[in-house]
Amino acid sequence: MINIIVAGPRGKMGYEAIKMINKEENFRLVACLDRKNNGKTLKEVDGLPDLDVPIYENAEECFQAVDSADVLVELTIPEVGYLHTKTAIQHNIRPVVGTTGFNSEQLEELDELLTSKNIGGIIAPNFAIGAVLMMKFSQMAAKYLPDVEIIEKHHDNKLDAPSGTAVKTAEMIRETREPKSQGHPNETETITGARGAELDGMRIHSLRLPGLVAHQEVIFGGPGQTLSIKHDSLNRASFMDGVRFSIERVFEIDGLVYGLEQLL
C-alpha cells in the first residue's frame, strides 16, 4: 500500500488526482495540503470528495503528523510547490510534482537533497503520455528539420508562460538541433512580442483562453514542406495515467527525474 498526500485538492488537477488515488487498490490518500480549510476533512469542504481525509495548511505540520506518508503529489503553484517539495524530501517523502515554473537552481537543489536522502523524485511538466510522446517525436524531428516554432495553448487561469511543457520541448529539441536564427535576418517586430519568446533561435508562442485545457503544436519547416506534431488534452483525466505511473515508479529511482520521457 502506498500512502499519498495531495497538495492542491481544490484545483482541477488535484481533484482528478484524488479520484484516481481513491480508485486504486494499492493507493491510499492519507492527507491533503491546502492553503485553506486547515483542520477540516475533505468531506467537510463543499465540492471535494466525501472522504474522511485530514487537511493541513502547513507542510511541516502535515508531514510530522502523517508520518506514514510515502509520496507527495504536488499540484499547486511554483512558490508554494517548491517549499512543499523540499519539505517533503526532508521528511523522506518522495515527491511527484506536476507544478511547473521551478528554476534551474531550485531543480539542482532538489536533486542534491534527494540524492543525500537516497530517495527519488519526479517532476513532470506534463503527465499526459501523449504529450510526452509529442515532445520525444519533436526531439527526433529537429535533427532533420531544424527550423521550428512551438505554439502552446492553455486555459486562462494558468500562471506561467511559456508552459513547462513548451520549455521542456524546446530543451529536448536543443539536444539534437544546432542553434540557429529563424526568419529574415532584418525582421522587425512592429508590436513587441509578435514573434514570441526565443530560445536558441526557436520561437515559442503562448495562448491563454477560456475553454482550453492543455494543447501544444510543434511546427517544423523545410524546403517545400512542413511537419506538425500536435497533442491535445481535452480534460484533466488525460494526465492521470502519468500521475499513477509516476507514483509507482518513484520508488525505483534515485535523485531527481525531470520529465516522464526519461522513464518511458
Catalytic residue numbers, as ranges = 154, 158
Does the bond joining 162 to the residue before it have cis omega, within 30 degrees of 0? yes
Q: Is residue 130 a known part of a binding site?
A: no
Is 179 one of the annotated binding-site residues?
no
8 annotated as a binding-site residue: yes
Q: Which helix (H) or strand (E) holds 173?
A: helix 164-174
Asked whether residue 11 is marked as a ligand-binding residue, the answer is: yes
To the question of whether residue 39 is assigned a binding role by annotation, the answer is no
Phi, psi of 190 (to 5 degrees): -75, -20
Q: Is 12 known to sit in a ligand binding site?
A: yes
Q: What are phi and psi of 139, to 5 degrees?
A: -60, -40
Question: Taking a C-beta distance cutoff of 8 angstroms, is the pair 27, 104 a contact?
Answer: no
86 is in an annotated binding site: no
CA–CA distance, 96 with 161 (Å, rounded to integer): 22
Q: DSSP label at 139?
A: H
SS3 187: coil
100 is an annotated ligand-binding site residue: yes
Which residue positions form the known binding site for (S)-2,3,4,5-tetrahydrodipicolinate? Answer: 155, 164-165
Which residue positions form the known binding site for NADP(+)? Answer: 36
Which residue positions form the known binding site for NAD(+)? Answer: 8-13, 98-100, 124-127
Which residue positions form the known binding site? Answer: 8-13, 36, 98-100, 124-127, 155, 164-165
